[in-house]
Structures are given as structure tokens and as C-alpha cells.
Structure 1
Amino acid sequence: MIFYLKKLNDMLLAALALSGAATEFVDTASNQGEEVLITDVCIIGGGGSGAYAAVRLLDLGKDVVVVERESALGGHTHSYTDPETNQEIGYGVAYYRNIKPFAEFMNRLNIPFKNVVGTNNGDAITVNFRTGQLIPNDRTEVPESLSRYRDIVASYAELENGFYLPDHVPDDLVMPFHDFVQKYNLSDVVPFLFRGYGDVLSQPTLYVINLFGSSFLHSFESGFLEPASENNQDIYKAAFQVLGPRVFLDSQPVSVDRDSADHVMIRAQTPNGIKGIKAKKVLVTIPPTIDNLGSFKLDPIEGALFSAFKVIGHYVAVAEFPGFQNASFMNRDQHRPFSMPQLPAVYEVAPSSNPELLLVHYGSHSELSDSFVKQDILDSLKRLRDFGFAPANSEPELVAYRNHSPFLLAVSPDDIKAGFYKKLYSLQGWRNTFYTGLAFQGDDSPMLWKFTEDLLPRILESIDDEVCSGGTLS
């Protein structure tokens, strides 16, 4: 699949000059004679947010260029093709919450979709991955306390749209989720919410309610959504077909000059050398960490905000493990609060449509080296084998692996109370730069698509202004 996208990308780029596409090529001495593309918006990152923004801006009559460092669009959505069967196995993103932006984007891309029920792992085997002790599954029935949790999160409906907080942030949102659970007697709810956010019990409750709010509960009870093909990469293949030569895969910015009042000059390293991109605006969709934005020459305000983030680690893999029991396995530790596993650790192991391939999710408090995570995944699978869940002579092998860190960019309760998110959102438009993605909204595709959709009018207005260097910072 990746080869297909790279090949198509090369063909489309070669055809660009003949296509009459809106993106314009010029050659300027001021850019050392490099070929320069002139466009309305340069989008940094072709994950879920970037691909969505690019398609929508194109539909709204604006031209775009997407710079994506991977070999395919899709961000956390991946696929692995079994070389023996040619079967494509999706991993990373599993399902999508049932809210309007999902259906609208699928309809735009002509992708049929369907409802998915029974995704709460109620039939999973719950076991301590370190000791092999079996633990009663705490997700077999929806707890009574879930209705109480639903009533609480309904009072924070604005968090479905982003981290929009009042000047006086409620204490409930900044207390550790562990304390919130105890305050409202919600211990039975924890197993339904823990995966993916590191030590969810220590996170400020703000981040839990943002991601696991009313729309999540609605989908949890009535069903999530997925493409009818059950292959999430179909979304991004279709988006790539729409965008064509406007996408640079295997590429990343090496310098971003935002000092001009009316444009941004990006120099991107591509497989075909350095490309210059002159854009009226730049839309950043990658996680805005100091490392990721090293080419942006951040000013002191930007640097202070982006350096406040704490990175939570998350990793996904496909493991080949012949003879492994055909069931989902959830990691639990009966000696820890609410039986949550000690991190870093595998969260869960699930079967795929290929009986010899497993889907693995792994989490950590902070970002870890890939070599450590890969070895720990293999060691965990071997322990499960030794506990009797696979033949004694079977050896696991990782055939695909992706590092999704940061899965969450969190800040401290003190920063939240001090108005961090108002300051962060005030960066929209500053230095001709806009932002979407997991730092500005929870890491959930339909929620991010809605956040991005809500941002588009501001981007369009700023493009149409003769000079717009951006907002008011405090």
C-alpha cells in the first residue's frame, strides 16, 4: 500500500506542470534559484487533521500543499500487508465515534461506512501480563456508575469542541482523575476509559472528560463507525486521490521563515531535493513540540507555551505469533488501584482478521526508545506464551511497529488554572500560522475534524485579508 502511494505521488508530481493545477511554480533569485511553489496554505503534517484540512480547503476554493514526513497520509492510521497472503491488516486507529463530521467526510470521499457494536472488550481475557494471574473481567457489564459519569460530563459539553475553559477553571477538571473517581464513586467506570492516556489516574480530569465525554458515551452505547471495507486506510487513499500533486510524502520542513507580514516561506526536504513553498498561511497539524518545530524559529511566546507540554507515550504493533489463543487480552494488575497495569506496559493484545497476526497497544508515562518498547512487547508476548496462551515452541515476531508518541500533550494543573489554553488558542493566526491537532483537541479523528472545520473560517478570512500577521497575544 505504501509503495502504491509513493508511486502515485511520483506520477502526480511529474504531471503537475501539465495539469493546470492552482499551485503555481516560479523561479526566484531571492530563493537561491530554487523552484518555488506559490500556494494559499502549506499544511505541515498529513495525518487525520492535515488530510481533512487539505481536502476541505481545496473544496472551499483555496490551494494547498501538504508536507508529510511518512510514506502515506493518515497519521495514526496504518496498514500492514502480509507478504504471503497479500492480505491488508489495519492497525493503529480502530473505530470512529459517531458524530456528524465522520459521516460528512466519508460522504465527501465516497466511502461507505457501517456501525460497529460490541467494542468494549467484554469478552476479553483479563490477565496480569507479568505474573499470568487471571483476573475477573471488569468490562462484562456496563456499570450503573456510567450513568452517573454521563450526567457529570454533560455539564462540560463545551469540552467536546476543545479545551475551552472559563477564567476560573472548576476544581474537578484540574484534580487527578483518581481523586475525581473517588469523589463521585466512579471506580467501575475506570476500566472503560483507561487505554491510551498513560497513567490515566494521575492525569488532570480535563483530559479524560475531553476525550471520553458525551459523544464517546453515545458511541460506546449505540456503536462506533468504520469504513464498510473495515480498512481505515481507505479514507486516506481517497484523500490522497483528491489532493494528488499537492502532497509531498517522505518530506519535512528544514526551515520556515515567518518574518514577512504577508507570507510564509517554507523550504522542505523531499525525495527529489529541497523544494521552496511560498504560502499565505501555514497550518501546523503535527504535535507542536519544541523538537518537531525546530525549523520554525519559535518566538519566546511560542517557545514558552510549547515547552510546557508533557509527552505521553503510545505505541502500536502487529505481531506474528502462530498458535496464539484467538482472543483479546487486557493487561490488569490486581495489586494496583482499579487493577490498572504498571506502566510502561502492553495495554492489550487483540486478534486480527489473520489468525497468525496480533494487534498490540503499548503505553508509557513518557516517550521511550523504540528498541525498548519493541523488546518489552516481545517479552510480554513470550510470558503470555509461557502462561499457556500459545504453543511452547512458538516465537513472536514484530512485523510492523509505529511510535504514536506523543499520544497526549498535557500540561500541569497549575498551567491549566493559569489560562494555558486561552494563551495557546491565541496563537491562531499569529505570524501567519494556524494550528490543529492533538495539542488543541483530544486525539480523536472526528473530534479533530470538527475542531479543524470550526477553524477554517478564520483561515479563509486571514487569507483574504491583504495583510494579517495574526492575533492578540497575552
Structure 2
Amino acid sequence: MQSLLFVLGTATTAIAASDACRFNSACYQPADVIQRDVAIIGGGATGTYSAITLSDEGKQVVVIEKEAVLGGHTNTYIDPATGTAVDYGVIAYWNTTLVQDFFARLDVALGPMSRGATNQTLHVDFQTGASVTDVVTSADLTGYQTQLQKYPYLLEGWDLPSPVPEDLLLPFGDFVTKYGLQDSAFTLYNAGAAGGLGSILEQLTVTVMKADSLAFMQELNGGVVTTAQHHNHQLYDNALQELGSNVLLQSTVVAAERAANESVKLVVRTASGTKLVIASQLLVTAPLTLDNMAPFALDPKERALFSQFQNTAYYCGLVSQTGLQAGASYVNTGADTPYHIPEFPSLYHVSPTAVDGLYSFWYGGDHTLVEAEVKANISATIQRLSGSNQPVEFVAFSSHTPFSLHVPAEAIADGFYTKLNRLQGHRNTWYTGALFTPSAATVWDFTRQLLPSIISRL
């Protein structure tokens, strides 16, 4: 028994020593200790912009990205036969000076958006395959814009007044009825900016207005650009080349130490082994779900907020061997649903691309889904549309889940976002990303305004 106790005691001591060693730089090889001014979690649009901008300010950064590339929701496929680039994630950008400057900074030329390969739009009930001919697709969103202009503070960030206007906390279906927006409802659902919201009529009006925002209205009026080569990922390829070893790809934080008056320490699992990152400040651009944030040693205040977030699901990709009509874009249109907005989970659309026989798709749901089931549903739906029994080929598939983080109306009315804003700088940690504004142009501007506060702490 004494030997057994000795063994158990030794094992316990070893585990304790291991835990204590996680944040001790002396326990790592020198090459595995990374000291920087700012550690950035997430290498999507916001994380990449932050890294380049901070580097231009002479600050040392490290970006920790779980995927094998930068870019987040920006997905581009290169057709091996023709060399043609096909964007199937982020398609376009609001044409602002900031967007122009950032693309120029990374030597990527911009150009106008084009209609693409679509020469016909077909409204079809994807549940039955039947055509829907009585859908109202009004381009006149004057009534909606009139309401939207009441809330200019929704464009960037979450600086909501107190009390929060009651209309913003209505389910969007009730808001549509209240303000007679029935003829605009389908257009607002079908807008690219609203992709990923799932059952839009059940979402809070504030959630819809954050997506179908004033930036979205500018985009509808032609104020958008894309890359001249229709290769949006080139921006992130160029950024990665410039940032070099300051980016840790295929890497995740597994533990953190965030003392109020000390540097942030992160234990990072990478493809080449475990690293210790020590940074003066931490900038989180990834979705603030409890699963994502669990390794960051949350305090009760942080946990209480992050645990309230719900999310939708959003998937995009490219398929071939569809049997669909060449040049036709198929839009999911409910035959017997309010305003012909379909039920979810489901495809939003299937559309032709610049590569013959290659179609893009968007798929959404009200909560996280199993990817195998998503693919099976997509394949079955396309077979229904085409009348073919041939399984489709998934040429590319990307999950943008968790998407559209949101909280219940009661939480918002109780000051949820005021409490969230107060976390900026708490424990040397800062937050930005799609949660604060979903458009790349506006999230870059929100981040631009946040960075001076971070720099002031260095």
C-alpha cells in the first residue's frame, strides 16, 4: 500500500508540475516561445486586417488561426482545367475608401461586380421542385430603409440606447406586418447580406437590421466592388506572404492565463508542436461562443455573457454533375409559406458560376447542423430540381458555422450589449469581428476605431 501511495503521490506531483509548467517559458524550447505586442485570435477578414494594420504601426503581432489558410468566410476555388477563379464565400465589398485602401495596401486590384453566369432566375419550392410564379420580388425597399434610418447606430458595433427601442426587439415577421413591408420581405430574405440568418421572420428585427444594414442598401444601389480577377482570396494570400511566421495556421489555443496586470499567456497547439505565446494584449476576432472561448480561462462575468449566445448555421460551396439547366439560378421560394420565404434548414439558392457545369450554393439553418446531413440534403434537393438520380459532386464545401451570433430579446432589453461593450480591455482582452458588424467594410472600420485603444495599452 505504501508503494501504491508513493506512486500516486508522485503522479499527482508530476501532473501539478506539468500544469504549472504550461505558462512557464523556461519549460519550452526558445523557438517555441513567441513574445508579441498583440496576439490575434482568428485570421479571417478582421484578424487579417488587424494584423496588417498593427504591423504598419510598428507593433509585433501573432495571428492564431485554426484553418490551413487565412481568410475566414472568404473562399475561392481555382478550376484546374481553365485556371478560372470562382469566389463562393464572400463575393463583394462595400466600395468605401477603407476597402480601396486595404486592397491597395496588399496589392490587389478591385473591379466592378458583374451579373456572372446567370441568364435566368427560377423561383422554385425546393421541398417539392415545383415552380412558384406569384412571388413578389420588389426592388423598392423605401419603406424598409425609412425604418432602418431611425437606427444609424446599428451600422457598426452595439451602442444601443437605453431603453432599447421596442421595435428592434420584435420578431421580424411582426415588424414586417407593423410597417407594411410585406412586398419587401422576400427581397430582404434573399439578399446576400441576410444569408445565414435562417428563419428570418423569427429573428429579432435588430438582428435582421444588422445584416440588411445601411451598407447593404448602398450595395443594392451598385456601391460594391470585387477583385478584378474575381479572386477575393488573393487578399489573404498576399497578407499571409507578408506576415509570414507571424501567422500560426492550423493552430488552436488550449489554455490561457489572463491576469489583469500582466501579459496574456496562451498555450497554443500547432502543427509543429505546442507553443507558448506571451502578449501584452489579446484581440479576439473569432465568434464568442462558449465552446470557442472555454480555453481562455473565463471569469464569471465573461462566462455569463458568452453562455447566452445562440447561433445559426451557414454553409457554402460548389457542386458539379447537377443536371440543372445551364445558366439558370434556382432560388428557394416557398409555395405556401409567408411571403414565400422557405422553411429552414434548407438551401438558399443554387447558381451557375463562370466555370461551365459548376454551381455555387448557400445552405442555412437555425442552429448548428451535422455536415454529412447538410450534404445529403443538398444532393437530394438538387436531384429534385433536376429530375436526376445522379448524386452531385461536391467540388468545394465550407462551413461558416457558428454564424450570426445573437441573444434573446429579454437579454438585450436587460443591457446585454452594454455589458459586452464593457469587456473591451478587460483582462487585457479586446473583441471585434462579425458579431459587431457582419460586413467586411464595416467591421474593418469598427476595428480601425478600436485599435488605438489597444495600442495605448502597449
Same fold by TM-score, threshold 0.5 exceeded?
A: yes
Q: Is the 8 A contact 2:74 2:90 kept in 1?
A: yes
Q: Is the 8 A contact 1:122 1:139 kept in 2?
A: no
Matches within 5 A, 1:13-24: none
Q: Post-superposition shift, 1:174? A: 0.5
Q: Post-superposition shift, 1:84? A: 4.3
Is 1:304 aligned to residue 304 of structure 2?
Answer: yes
Residue ranges of structure 1 left out of the alignment (5+ in a row): 1-26, 387-391, 464-474
* Residues 80-115 of structure 1: per-residue CA shift (max 9 Å, x gap): 233444543221111112333212211221222122
Matches within 5 A, 1:107-122: 107-116=104-113
Q: Post-superposition shift, 1:242? A: 2.2
Taking a change above 3 Å as real, the CA distance of residues 28 and 407 of structure 1, as seen in their structure-2 partners, is closer
Q: Is the 8 A contact 1:154 1:213 kept in 2?
A: no
Normalised TM-score (structure 2):
0.89
Is 1:55 aligned to residue 56 of structure 2?
Answer: no
Q: Is the 8 A contact 1:321 1:358 kept in 2?
A: no
Matches within 5 A, 1:42-441: 42-116=39-113, 123-136=120-133, 138=135, 141-143=138-140, 146-194=141-189, 195-259=195-259, 261-321=261-321, 323-325=323-325, 326-386=327-387, 392=388, 394-439=390-435, 441=436
- Rounded Cα–Cα distance in structure 2 between residues aligned with 1:115 and 1:155: 30
What amino acid maps onto 2:364 in structure 1? G
Q: Is the 8 A contact 1:347 1:362 kept in 2?
A: yes
Paired position in structure 1 for 2:9: none
Paired position in structure 2 for 1:389: none
- Rounded Cα–Cα distance in structure 1 between residues aligned with 2:341 and 2:110: 34
SS at match of 2:328: coil
Q: Is the 8 A contact 1:125 1:330 kept in 2?
A: yes
- Rounded Cα–Cα distance in structure 1 between residues aligned with 2:395 and 2:34: 38
Moved more, 187-196 or 371-380: 187-196
Q: Is the 8 A contact 1:115 1:223 kept in 2?
A: no
- Rounded Cα–Cα distance in structure 1 between residues aligned with 2:134 and 2:445: 35
Percent identity over the alignment is 37
* Residues 7-66 of structure 1: per-residue CA shift (max 9 Å, x gap): xxxxxxxxxxxxxxxxxxxx9425587731110001011011100100000111111000
Name the count of aligned residue pairs.
428
SS at match of 1:328: strand
> Which of structures 1 and 2 has the larger relative contact order (alpha carbons within 8 angstroms, sep 6+)?
2
Taking a change above 3 Å as real, the CA distance of residues 114 and 87 of structure 1, as seen in their structure-2 partners, is closer
Moved more, 79-88 or 409-418: 79-88
Q: Is the 8 A contact 2:106 2:235 kept in 1?
A: yes
Moved more, 301-310 or 158-167: 158-167
What amino acid maps onto 1:383 in structure 2? R
What amino acid maps onto 1:95 in structure 2? A
Q: Post-superposition shift, 1:328? A: 1.0
Residue ranges of structure 2 left out of the alignment (5+ in a row): 1-23, 190-194
Q: Is the 8 A contact 2:314 2:364 kept in 1?
A: yes
Paired position in structure 2 for 1:12: none
- Rounded Cα–Cα distance in structure 2 between residues aligned with 1:286 and 1:395: 35
- Rounded Cα–Cα distance in structure 1 between residues aligned with 2:25 and 2:309: 39
SS at match of 1:209: helix
- Rounded Cα–Cα distance in structure 1 between residues aligned with 2:28 and 2:135: 61
